Amino acid sequence: MKKIIETPPIWFIALTLILGAACLGVSPLFVRISEVDPASSAFWRSFLALPFILILIKSINIKTELKSDKLNYFYLALPGIFLGIDHAAWHHGIMLTSIANSTLFASMAPVFVVIYSYILFSTKITKKFFVGLIASVIGAVLLLYNSLEFSIQNLFGDFWSILAGAFYAAYLLSTGILRDKNLNIYIIFFVGTFFSAVTLLVIVLFANETFLPNSFSGWLVVFCLAFISQFIGIGLITWALGKVKTGLASLTLMSEPVTAAFLAWLILGEYLSALQFFGGIIILFGIIYAQSSSELKQ
């Protein structure tokens, strides 16, 4: 088992990413039933995960010195800032639209990864990518059809969810850059979660939200959000980012909407119409096709 963890085969990494995505897919349920407001639940999600990450680092005897050649330590904070904004935007989106909508749009991160790579690193993108992107846009229109026709509030939720996907892509890319600087992936995870909590605390201070749960069950919800979605979910994904390229990691995260949609149907009774279901399928196809067919060439 130790050998698999140290030099994992691609199937093990893929399973790890899928499990991490499934843990993220559970988070909309916790956000919906939380006693605190969206940004506050996002803060507790990051803050309560910090002790578990420290225990993990100590248990596997990771050196905590931040040593890396040619690393501007200011950039250590960027993944956490991006992740904090992602959490705040997504949690607001979850409360303003359906769980299926919010998860699907937040999961457009792979498209943003490719776009950022093109803009920032002069990446050449194949024509097949544009086909996938167009398919994703068509799917988004179909999925949004009911929201646009019946509820402006849903439209705002969809916007926040797309914004979350954009910032999650920035988190993945900035984490990949730190990884390429040979910084320990667990240290990146801890520092990123810490600055995520700091960013979210600033947002909460200006948001005038309900901050503290008022019952044991309320605390249990934010604890589960922190342990399952942040510590296990983000932790597994961050570990995998230390083994594979960012593009492959973001592609595998497309399993997240499946988990969220299933839980929304099973527990909250959020049924998808035939048109919305078809739109969701097209979005997933477009994202997967775009990412899998795009070779990033400097």
Q: What is the pLDDT of residue 287?
A: 62
User: How far, in Å, CA of 276 to CA of 136, rounded?
Assistant: 13
Q: What is the pLDDT of residue 265?
A: 67
Q: What is the pLDDT of residue 149?
A: 43
Q: What is the pLDDT of residue 298?
A: 37
Q: What is the pLDDT of residue 180?
A: 75
Return the exposure string of 129-139: e unless at least 16 CB atoms fall within 10 Å of the residue's CB, then b: beebbebbeeb
User: How far, in Å, CA of 38 to CA of 31, rounded?
Assistant: 7
Q: What is the pLDDT of residue 51?
A: 94
Two structure tokens written together for 265: 């149907």
Q: Domain range holding 48?
A: 7-120+152-258
Residue-wise pLDDT for 231-258, tens only, equals 998 888 888 777 766 665 665 666 666 6
Q: Does some domain include residue 60?
A: yes
DSSP 108: T
Return the exposure string of 248-273: e unless at least 16 CB atoms fall within 10 Å of the residue's CB, then b: bbbbbbbbbbbbbbebbeeeeebebe
pTM: 0.80
Q: Provide the phi-psi class of 212: left if phi over 0, else alpha when psi is between -120 and 50, else beta.
A: beta
Two structure tokens written together for 42: 């996002």
Two structure tokens written together for 246: 């960012």
Q: Does some domain include residue 134?
A: no
Q: Does some domain include residue 263?
A: no
Residue-wise pLDDT for 72-110, tens only, equals 667 888 999 999 999 999 999 888 887 777 877 787 787
- For 30, residues 6+ apart whose C-beta sits below 8 A from its C-beta are 41, 221, 222, 224, 225, 228, 229
Q: What is the pLDDT of residue 94?
A: 87
Q: Does some domain include residue 63?
A: yes
| Total tally of structural domains belonging to the chain | 1
> Please, where are the H alpha helices in the chain?
2-6, 10-33, 38-47, 50-59, 77-96, 99-106, 109-121, 127-150, 152-180, 185-207, 216-224, 235-241, 246-252, 256-263, 274-292
Between 32-46, 128-142, 150-164, the lowest mean confidence (pLDDT) is in 128-142
Q: What is the pLDDT of residue 106?
A: 81
